[in-house]
Amino acid sequence: MPYQVPQIKKMGELTEEKIAAIKKAQAAKETRKGSVITRKKGIVQKPDLKQPGISEVVRPQPSTLNREKYYGHEYERDLLHGIEINTEAYLSDFENLFLEMAKRKGWSTEQARAEAQKNFKERGLVYLDFPAAVKLVKKHQPWQDPTEPDSDKSRFGHDLRTAIVEELDLAPEQAEQVRFFVAASREKKSPVYYRHADDREVAADLTPLDYYHGTDCFIEIGGDEEKIGDLVLLDVTLDRKKRNDRAIVVPEIDLPQPNSSEEEVKAYYDFVEGIAKEVISHLSKRTVRQLTQH
């Protein structure tokens, strides 16, 4: 049975019932075993003192950590969940896409091997060009259907896609073309690791789309597993001064918590709707016209 797009619910009106439901859902999520609690000062991951590649000399003890520091990779996981990159399936697809890229570029086997070794030696991560990097992450999303991102894993992704559909006033058939994808990694190394690992070690924990192409997530209109549609790239960051010529910068925003006020919940939705409008402004006129034709 083909997937049916659920009835789109409007987010504009924040009723008391909706706010109560949001708080209840967040409370349930935070009490589940193994869940990731969103940003809260005073909470950091327990340092993994067995992490490879970190010198014993420079590794600080837990008591020296700044426990109010919130790291960029933690924010990405809170907002986007992330992709599991240390699976056999991911690594196999990575290799196959690299070989396909090498074939497109006309490289011999020796050239491809030399290029991969050079990338790894100099950067810590084998390079994939943009089309291959996009295909890799599309194959390994943390949810089955990119038209319905799992709100328990990425509240932001789910709400952003919904806001785009609402802003364009799309019918269910057209809404199926709006898809949300994550490009950030789900790696769970401790803040200690990222403070003291060198650039090559950090790069190895990222996807090529993130590391080489500056993209943490993206909206795709149309396309499928093999064909790339119209893309709008997003870069999640804690740095409000950051600039990215290729992607929309998504600065820090607090996800609604069980104890969030109505004003805080509204601020979050206003933020998401603002990003949604910016995404739409980056779509081609032709894409918008095709989407909105009923």
Residue 289 near residue 171 (C-beta atoms within 8 A):
no
**Which of the 8 DSSP states describes residue 62?**
G
Supply the pLDDT for residue 292: 87
Residue 83 near residue 143 (C-beta atoms within 8 A):
no
Round to whole Å and give the CA distance between 245 and 216: 14
Question: Is the entire prediction scored with pTM above 0.85?
Answer: no
Side-by-side strand order, sheet with 217-221: 178-182, 217-221, 230-236, 248-250
Q: How many CB atoms lie within 10 A of CB 51?
A: 16
Q: DSSP letters along 181-208, please?
A: EE-SB-----HHHHHHS-HHHHHTTS-H
Segments making up each domain of the chain, as ranges = 66-292
List C-alpha distances in Å: 154 to 17, 42, 268, 288: 22, 23, 14, 25
Looking from the CA of 11 toward its CB, the CA atoms found within 13 Å total: 23
Amino acid at 55: S
Q: Tokens 């010529």 appear where?
A: 245
What are the tokens at 140?
A: 């390994």
Supply the pLDDT for residue 147: 95
Q: DSSP letters along 123-185, please?
A: HSS----HHHHHHHHHTT-SSS-TTS--TTT-HHHHHHHHHHHHHHT--HHHHTTEEEEE-SB
Q: Smallest Cα–Cα separation from 170: which of 8, 4, 284?
A: 8
Tens digit of each residue's pLDDT (9 = 90 or more) over 33-90: 333 333 333 333 333 333 333 333 333 333 333 334 556 778 888 899 999 999 999 9
- Residues in the chain predicted with pLDDT less than 70, given as ranges, are 1-71, 188, 190-192, 194-195, 294
